Amino acid sequence: MAGTTTSTGKYLYAVIQSTVDRDYGPIGIDGARVYLISDDHVAAVVSDFGNGKIRPERRHIAAHQAVLKRLMQDDTPLPISFGIIAEGAKEIKRILTLNRKSFVKQIQRVYGKVEMGVRVAWDVPNIFEYFVNTHAELRAARDQFLGGIHAPTKDDQIEVGRLFDRMLQYDREELTQKVETSLKTCSLEIKRNPTRNEKEVMNLACLVPRPAIEKDFETAICAAARDFDNNFTFDFNGPWAPHNFVDIELAL
């Protein structure tokens, strides 16, 4: 399916609940026209693509995301992972038929909702030194194992590193629970994603009803941030298609 070389290939962006034809204009990858292929129950959002495999270049990914953003103006799309290409309209309809029950179930689950992202990070020059200054146990271990007149051994460094990591994970869990408590007032579901680096406290995806985006969600973020001092930064982004709340494994 993916990477098929054919002049009638169809690049797949998303699936929506629609039984009518629709043309979104030349907003797809490489300026291709984006339109629907329906099986009278659900519809695939596609554009023509005949160049074989598609490279994950920034411009291609940006175009993919731009199509999803356009779809969100009118629908709740089930986003398809970047790079899926079918051989043609017949193949698309076969995919829709094989996966119809799953598509309909997931559309019903996320209909009228969007995804919002929340990231919280420690805004400090050195995360280890920050923890040393705020955790007496780590400070004592640092002084004991690393602060002597002799160079610390590898085992000493490992021991202090393990203690730091345990405290880091403990604080992440405690702080994440605190933020989640605030966000649950306006979020139907919250998913924890992996943190990107040592300074990141949490990386959350929230499934939020559309009417709650502008007021309720921002209010919840502000309420959560009040419990944090200037050593933390909050960032929220969206709305996005509900990537983290759909699980599409295409039956082929």
Kindly report, residue by residue over 211-246, the tens digit of the pLDDT.
878 789 999 999 999 999 999 999 999 999 999 999
- Return the percent helix, strand and coil in the chain, to nearest 5: 40, 25, 35
What are the Cα distances from residue 177, in Å, to 140, 168, 195, 203, 249? 28, 14, 15, 12, 30
CA dist 18 and 185 (Å) reads 32
Which pLDDT belongs to residue 251?
A: 60
- Do 236 and 115 contact (CB within 8 A), yes or no? no
Look over the chain and give the mean of its residue pLDDT values, rounded to a whole number: 90
Q: List the chain domain ranges.
A: 10-111, 114-245
Q: What is the rounded average pLDDT of the residues 9-23?
A: 91
CA dist 33 and 11 (Å) reads 11
* Cis amide linkage into residue 56, ω under 30° from 0: no
Band (pLDDT 50/70/90 cuts) for residue 40 is confident
Q: What is the rounded average pLDDT of the residues 75-93?
A: 92
Between 103 and 150, the more confident residue is 103
Band (pLDDT 50/70/90 cuts) for residue 6 is very low
Residue 17 reports pLDDT greater than 50 = yes
114-245, CATH topology level: Alpha-Beta Plaits (3.30.70)
Which pLDDT belongs to residue 125?
A: 97
What are the Cα distances from residue 227, in Å, to 82, 127, 131, 224? 38, 20, 18, 6
The share of the chain scoring above pLDDT 70, in percent, equals: 94
Which pLDDT belongs to residue 5?
A: 36
- Do 187 and 208 contact (CB within 8 A), yes or no? yes
Band (pLDDT 50/70/90 cuts) for residue 30 is very high
CB-based contacts of 72, cutoff 8 Å, min separation 6: 114, 239, 241
Band (pLDDT 50/70/90 cuts) for residue 1 is very low
Band (pLDDT 50/70/90 cuts) for residue 111 is very high
Band (pLDDT 50/70/90 cuts) for residue 2 is very low
Q: What is the rounded average pLDDT of the residues 171-193?
A: 96
Residue 145 reports pLDDT greater than 80 = no
Written as one letter, the residue type at 85 is I
Which pLDDT belongs to residue 149?
A: 63
Q: What is the rounded average pLDDT of the residues 3-16?
A: 73
